A and B are shown apart, each in its own frame.
Chain A
Amino acid sequence: MTDHERWKDAAGGYVLNALTDDERTAYEAHLATCPECRAEVSDLRFAADALPLSPPPVVPPPALKARIMAEVEREAALLASAAKPDRAAAPAEPARRRRRFAGGAAALPFPRASIAALACAMLLLGVVLGGVLLGGGSDARTIPFQSSLPQAAAQLEVSDDGATLVAKGLPVPPEGKTYMVWLARPGQAPEPTSALFTPNRDGSATAGVAGDLKGVETVLVNTEPVGGSTTPTSAPILTAELT
């Protein structure tokens, strides 16, 4: 195989910045010696440069992307633990570095295609969320939760790149239970979110709330069986009014 044949297909990945670091370095070395590939790169770059103009996808800000990937991995961990009830208590892992995502996913006991679907769905969600948040400008605000437990306090930080729940004084949930965040819109049943969390030993907790907060009247937190529920099965412990 000649050097050129080896790199014949790499131009697309190169202009999309999708080559691995090693490949990019090697490809750039090849470009220096190959006018044909240089011409192709400049051709394809014309198309790649137009991508940011396309609506509606808005490039998610890096922080949002990290959150989406953390969310995808956590969902994957939940699905995996749901598939194996005996190790259901596996803690949700924090976001690992992106490079390890594919490898980690491959080790999980369910088809990778479902991870791809999940990644696409989360990406779309992030894009929509990013669009809403970027379009809405800066409206960072902090909303206190009403707590039904006197020792617990929490607030929701709604910022440009998503909402984060910060709590303290939360008791450890009963065995087999976890805290879960719900979004309620007027006249509708609370919608489940993927924000499931257990507090640290000192009772503090932080949870990212992904999803469109537009039109949401109340953010609720209750306890649910590990893995979450589709409709609330217990009374809310924390309640925040957004409107």
Chain B
Amino acid sequence: VAERLEAPDRVEEDVARSDEAAIVRNAMDILPADQLKVIELAYFGGFTHVEIAEMLEAPVGTVKGRMRLGLKKMREVLAQGAVG
């Protein structure tokens, strides 16, 4: 019985999660490619900004700036989408 009661909740949870996921992905897709790239390399790749700057042959300051601007833009889009 416990399992049967649990199941519908889980489906709702899954739906909510995939909605959230779509909103976040949408916010990421809006970013300019160079900003998204440094964020993905840092977050999903675990590289430091120094390593990313080396890989992209860009100044460290530029990489930092792109991370900051990209996250800032994502935050604005997410705030509009009212996640959470």
Contact = CB atoms under 8 A, between A and B. Distances in A.
A51 B49 contact: no
Contact of B28 (A54, A120, A123): A54
B46 A102 contact: no
Interface string A107-123: 00000110110011001
Interface in B36-72: 37, 39-52, 54-57, 61, 63-72
B67 A115 contact: no
B21 interface: yes
B75 A16 contact: no
B55 to A, nearest CB: 4
B14 to A, nearest CB: 12
Interface in A44-82: 44, 46-48, 50-51, 53-55, 57, 59-60, 65
Contacts of B61: 9
Contact of A12 (B44, B57, B68): B68
B23 to A, nearest CB: 8
Contacts of B52: 18
B64 A10 contact: yes
A195 interface: no
Contact of A98 (B24, B46, B63): B46
A19 interface: yes
B55 A16 contact: no
B71 A48 contact: yes
A50 B44 CA distance: 13
A12 B21 contact: no
Interface residues of B, number: 44
Given A47-B78, A50-B27, A19 B49 contact: yes
B29 to A, nearest CB: 10
A44 B64 contact: no
A10 B64 CA distance: 6
Interface string A10-49: 1111011111100000000000000000001001101110
Nearest to A50: B24
A42 B19 CA distance: 24
A38 to B, nearest CB: 15
Contact of B78 (A12, A40, A50, A119): A50
B49 A18 contact: yes
Contact of B74 (A17, A40, A47): A47
Nearest to B73: A47
B24 A53 contact: yes
B11 to A, nearest CB: 17
Contacts of A113: 55-57
25 contacts: A9-B61, A9-B68, A12-B39, A16-B67, A16-B71, A18-B52, A43-B72, A46-B75, A46-B79, A47-B78, A50-B24, A50-B74, A53-B17, A53-B20, A53-B21, A53-B24, A54-B24, A55-B22, A65-B45, A65-B46, A98-B46, A103-B54, A113-B57, A119-B41, A123-B41
Interface of B: 17-18, 20-22, 24-25, 27-28, 37, 39-52, 54-57, 61, 63-72, 74-75, 78-79, 83
